[in-house]
Chain A
Amino acid sequence: MRTVIADKRWAEKYPEIGTGPVAAEPLISSEHFELEREKIFRRTWLNIGRVEEIPNPGDYIAKDLTMCRASVLIIRGRDGEVRGFHNVCSHRGNKLVWDEKGTCKGTLTCGFHAWAYNTKGELTWVPDEKNFFDLPKCDLGLTPIHTEVFEGFIFIHLAERPPESLREYLGGVADQLEGGGFGELALAKRYRVDEHANWKIALDAQNELYHLPFQHRRTIPEFCVLKDGQFTRLLDVRLFNHHSVYSSDPPEDRVGPATEKLAARFSVAETESRLPRIGSFDFYTIFPNMALLLFRGVSHDFYMSYNFWPQAVDRTDWDIKIYFRPAENAGQRVGQEYFTCLLRDLLQEDATAHEQIHIGLASRAKKELYFQDEEMQIRYFHTVLDRFYAEA
C-alpha cells in the first residue's frame, strides 16, 4: 500500500467527527477526573497484563487501580485457568497480596490473620475457626472480577455485569489483531514513568505523528517530513466503536545513524515473524487507557504496549512494555538494546513534553485545542470521552 499525499482525507472519510476546536477543560479538571472514575474506568474493559506474566499454575499479578479504588489479583489456577479477583480478604478486608507479582505454592495467605485461599479464590483455611459464629466458609471466597483474555492480553471489567464481552468491546480492533502471534514475542524491556501530567494529555501526545520532526528533531526527525519539505501523510486512519488505529509507512530513503546500522546487522534472525500490521507502524488506541504499537522491525516485527494509569488529575503512571522475538544469541540481544535505548530516549522527550503541556493547559489560558486532519484519531478519542461523560 502506498501512502497518498493528499489533504484532509480523514475528515472526508469520517465527516461525523467534525472539524471544529475541542474543549481543553477535560484534560485538566477534577470534575472530569471524577466522571472518568465512575463512568469510564468502572465501565470499560481494562488491560492488566499478558498471560506470559503468569505462565505457571499459582503465578499471579496484583495491581492497585487507584482510579477505580480497587486492587486486582490475576491468578493462574491449578487448572491452568486465568481468573481475576478483588485482592481483598474476606475476614476484615485487608489487601491480600501486597507484592505486584509472585507465585503461590497452593494457597494465598492473608498477612493479618492468615486466612488462606486457593488458586480458584476459595477460602480454604481459617485459624481458630471454631471460635467464629456459623462462618459461611463456602461463600467467603475472594470476590471475582470479570476477566477475559484476547490474544494473550488480560482484561478485567469491574462492573457487576459487563454490557458486552471483551471480544465485542474490542470489535474491529479484535478483527484486525486476531491470530496475531503476539505470544511468540517476549517482554524485552519495561519502563514505569511517574509523570506529573493528566493521563489523557500523555495519551493524546502519543496519538499522532505530526510532532515527530519537531519534538523529536534530535532523535527521529525523518519519520514525518519528506526531504523536499512536504509533509508525509498517514497511510490509514480507522475508527472503531471506542477505539482507533493510525498507520504510517516510513520514508523510503531514511539513513539512520551508524550504530543503528550496526544494530540492524546484529539483529538479523533465522526466523521471520510478522504481526498483523496495516502499515509499517500502527498505533492502536484501545479505550480508555491502552495503546498498542506494532512495528516493522529490521529483521522481524515487534510491538509495544502503553497503559496510562491515572493516579490523580495531574499524575499518571505510564507503563511501557517492549516485546521482541526472544534473542537467539548475544548479537541479537545487543541489537535489541540499541532499539530499546532509542525508544527510551525519545519517550523521555515525550514524557518531559507531557508535563509541560499539563502546565500550559492548567493555566486555562487556552480553552480550546485545534486538531489538523492528521490528528483525527485524537479528535475521535475526545468524542468517545464525551459519549461516556454524557452517560447516565
Chain B
Amino acid sequence: MSAQKLPAEFADLEPFLDWALATERERTSKRLASSMEEIQAFYDYMSARVEAATAYLNAFPLGTLPPEAERLFHLSLSLMEVANAVEMFQNPAVINGFDVKRFAPVEDV
C-alpha cells in the first residue's frame, strides 16, 4: 500500500476509518446503524484525539485538505455527530426523535 489512509501521526485512528464519512446524511446513518458500544468506543477514543486533529488540520487552508487529512476532518465531524448520542441520549437515535428521512439535510456536507 503506497497511499496512507491517515496522516502518519494519526495512524492510531485507523480502526475507526469507517466513521470517515463526507456527508451529514452518511454520518447520521452510521450513528443510527451502530450499537451504543461501538459509538462509545469511537467517542472515547476520538474525544482524546480531536484537539490534536483540528490543530493539525488548521495548518491547511480550508478546502485544500489532502485526502488523508480530509479523512481526519471527517472523523472529527463524526465525533460531533455522535456526541449527543453519548452525552444526552445514551442511545444512538434521539429519544422521541423524528423520522430522519422526513428531517433531511439539504445541500448536504
Interface of A (DSSP majority class): helix
Tell me the complex Cα distance, A190–B79, Å.
20
B47 close to A (CB within 8 Å): yes
B84's partner among A194, A334, A341, A347 (CB-CB below 8 A) is A341
**A112, B56: Cα distance in complex, Å:** 54
- Chain A contacts with B in 69-120, Cβ cutoff 8 A: none
Query: Can you sample 10 A-B contacts with CB below 8 Å?
Result: A190-B106, A192-B104, A193-B102, A257-B83, A329-B57, A330-B57, A331-B57, A334-B50, A334-B80, A341-B83
Verify B106–A193 contact, CB threshold 8 A: no
- Across the interface, name the chain A residue whose C-beta is closest to B107: A190
Q: Which of B3-11, B12-20, B58-66 contacts A (4 or more CB under 8 A)?
A: B58-66
For B88, give its contact among A263, A344, A345, A352 (CB under 8 Å): A345
Query: Does A150 interact with chain B (Cβ within 8 Å)?
Result: no
Residues of A within 8 A of B97 (CB): 345, 348-349, 352
Q: Are A334 and B87 in contact (CB under 8 A)?
A: no
B45 adjacent to chain A (CB < 8 Å): no
- The verdict on B34 contacting chain A, using a C-beta distance below 8 Å, is no
A266 to B80, CA, bound (A): 12
Q: Chain A's nearest CB lies how many Å from the CB of B25?
A: 11
Give chain A residues whose Cβ lies under 8 Å from the Cβ of B60. 330
Checking B57, B58, B80, B100 against A263 with a beta-carbon cut-off of 8 angstroms, the contacting residue is B80
Chain A residues near B107: list those with CB within 8 A.
Answer: 187, 190
Q: What sequence of 0s and 1s flags, for each residue 96-109 of chain B, a beta carbon within 8 Å of any chain A beta carbon?
A: 11101011111100
B55 touches A337 (CB 8 A): no
Whether the pair A341, B80 counts as a contact (CB closer than 8 A) is yes
Residues in chain A near residue B102, CB distance under 8 A: 193-195, 351
Chain B, interface size category, equals 20 to 34
Judging by beta carbons under 8 Å apart, are A262 and B96 in contact? no
Q: Return the chain A residue nearest B95 by Cβ.
A: A218
A329 near B62: Cβ-Cβ < 8 Å: yes
Contact of B51 among A262, A329, A351 (CB under 8 A): A262
Q: In the complex, which of the residues A266, A330, A337, A348 has the most CB atoms of chain B within 10 Å of its own CB atom? A: A330
Of chain B, the residue at the smallest CB distance from A349 is: B96
Closest 3 CB pairs of A and B: A331-B54, A330-B57, A259-B83
Closest to A216 in B: B88
Chain B residue at minimal CB-CB distance from A346? B94
B81 in the interface (beta carbon within 8 A) = yes
Please tell me if the beta carbons of A333 and B62 are within 8 angstroms of each other in the complex.
yes
Chain A, 327-364, CB within 8 A of any chain B CB: 327-331, 333-334, 337-338, 341-342, 344-345, 347-349, 351-353
In the bound complex, CA of A191 to CA of B103 (Å):
6
In the complex, are the beta carbons of B83 and A351 less than 8 A apart? Answer: no
Contact with B along A171-201 (1 / 0, CB 8 A): 0000000000000000101111111000000
Complex Cα gap A343–B61 (Å): 27
Q: Which residue of B lies closest to A215 (CB)?
A: B96
Asked if A258 is at the interface of the complex by the 8 Å CB criterion, the answer is yes
Closest B residue by C-beta to A220: B88
Q: Which residues of chain A (252-269) have a CB below 8 Å from chain B?
A: 257-260, 262-263, 265-266
User: Inside 8 A of B62's CB, which chain A residues have their CB?
Assistant: 327-330, 333
Given contacts A190-B107, A330-B76, 10 further A-B contacts (CB under 8 A): A190-B106, A193-B102, A193-B103, A194-B103, A195-B102, A257-B88, A258-B83, A262-B50, A348-B97, A349-B95
